[in-house]
Structures are given as C-alpha cells and as structure tokens.
C-alpha cells in the first residue's frame, strides 16, 4: 500500500518559538528548515510512501523541500485562520485525494529530524489495518502521525492534547515498540537533545553543531 503524506510547515520566521531556550531568533528558522528537510527526505525514502505534499506559504522552505522531491501547496486562503493547522491538513488531504482517490492519506509532523524510513513503514503498515489511526508523540500528549484509509475523512484534531482529541474522534491509537524516530518531534531544547541521541539527519546535525547544547 502506497501512502500520500501531508506535511504542514509554518512560515519559518514564526516556527519553533519554544526552542528559544536553545536557539535564538536568528538561528531558529534555519533549524526549523533543517528539521523539515530531514523529515521529508526520510519520508520520501520510505518504501510505503508514494509522495509527500508539504503545505506551506514559506517561499524558502517551499523551494528547498521541492528540491528534495516534495510537492508544495500553499495554505488554503479560504480557511479560518483560527483553525490553521487542521485547516491546512484538511486542504492537503483533499488535494491528495483528488490526485489519488483510492490511496490512503496520512499527516506527518515536519519536526521529526531523527525519522527512519523503516520505522515509518512499520507505522504506516499498522495504520493500514484501520479506517483511521494515529501515533502519539514521545511526550505522550500529542500526535505525530494521523492516517486515514481511502474514502475516510482525515478529521485532524491537532493542538494541545491532540492524543486525547484523536482518541475521542474515533481514531485508533497505534501501540508499537521501536518506532521512537516517528514519535520524537522537536518543540523544546530537551526534545532536540532526545532527537540528537536517536541520531538526526545530516541537515539537522549540521545546524545543531552550531548550537551549544548541554549534553549533546
């Protein structure tokens, strides 16, 4: 089964404010882009992935991720700004379904710099058994991947406490061992240290090498 992945990405200048304890305003945009590049590169290398659609209005990110092979689409201008991330994902899922109506669709966070293609394949393989399924993040409160079978609405409920939100929406939580790279998103300095311990992609490694990170 070949999946289309939708990856949302904020404008780089506004992303990852919670990393301010580790990376200042001049560094965070480049670090955020590195996360996204390593995430997209790993996703495209996954044997279960047909294509990756990145939803972003950031021109630099769009160019860099398109160069890796992702399809870039802008945010839906008609969407309610208050529902930004979920609206972007519904928009991307609709575009993916228009292009490949009989293919499954999944969302994937753009901040998974330690992502391993084989671990992503395991998660997608498990998700294929359910109409809708999700994977909780390493912190245990959020979501890093939400999947929907062909013909099923994605119904994203991202935001604070999205793990509970997706459970309540009827999505099945995937309980899997040894997929830490798919769970380890990066919002804080501690998250970045955890990702570095797992082993990040080359762009994140280069960007992080310019930071002074205790315990790195």
Torsion angle in degrees (nearest 10) through CA of 9, 60, 200, 142: -10
147-192 pLDDT, tens per residue? 999 999 999 999 889 999 999 999 999 999 999 999 999 988 889 9
User: What span, in angstroms and rounded, lies between the C-alpha atoms of 29 and 35?
Assistant: 10
- For residues 51-69, give the mean pLDDT: 96
The answer to whether residues 104 and 27 touch, using CB atoms and an 8 Å cutoff, is no
Report pTM.
Answer: 0.92
Angle ∠(41,42,43) on CA atoms, nearest 5: 90
pLDDT (tens digit per residue) in 76-125: 766 655 567 898 888 888 888 888 889 999 999 999 999 999 999 999 99
- pLDDT single digits (tens) 40-59: 999 999 999 999 999 999 99
Question: How would you classify the pairing of strands 105-108 and 71-73?
Answer: unpaired
- The verdict on domain 3-208 having CATH code 3.40.190.80 is no
């Amino acid at each position: 089964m070949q999946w289309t992945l939708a990856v949302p990405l904020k404008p780089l200048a506004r992303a990852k404010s919670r990393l301010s304890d580790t990376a200042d305003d001049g560094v965070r945009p480049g670090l955020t882009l590195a996360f996204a590049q390593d995430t997209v590169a790993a996703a495209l290398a996954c044997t279960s992935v047909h294509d990756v659609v990145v939803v972003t209005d950031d021109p630099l990110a769009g160019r860099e991720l398109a160069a890796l092979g992702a399809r870039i689409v802008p945010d839906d201008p008609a969407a309610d700004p208050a529902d930004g991330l979920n609206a972007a994902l519904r928009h991307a899922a609709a575009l993916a379904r228009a292009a490949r109506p009989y293919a499954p669709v999944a969302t994937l966070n753009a901040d998974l710099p330690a992502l391993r293609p084989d671990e992503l394949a395991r998660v997608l393989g498990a998700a294929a058994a359910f109409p809708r399924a999700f994977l909780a993040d390493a912190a245990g409160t959020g979501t890093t991947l939400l999947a929907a079978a062909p013909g099923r609405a994605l119904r994203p409920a991202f935001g604070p406490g999205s793990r509970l939100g997706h459970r309540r929406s009827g999505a099945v939580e995937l309980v899997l061992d040894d997929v830490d790279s798919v769970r380890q998103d990066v919002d804080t300095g501690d998250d970045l240290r955890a990702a570095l311990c797992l082993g990040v992609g080359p762009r994140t490694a280069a960007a992080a090498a310019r930071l002074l990170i205790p315990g790195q």
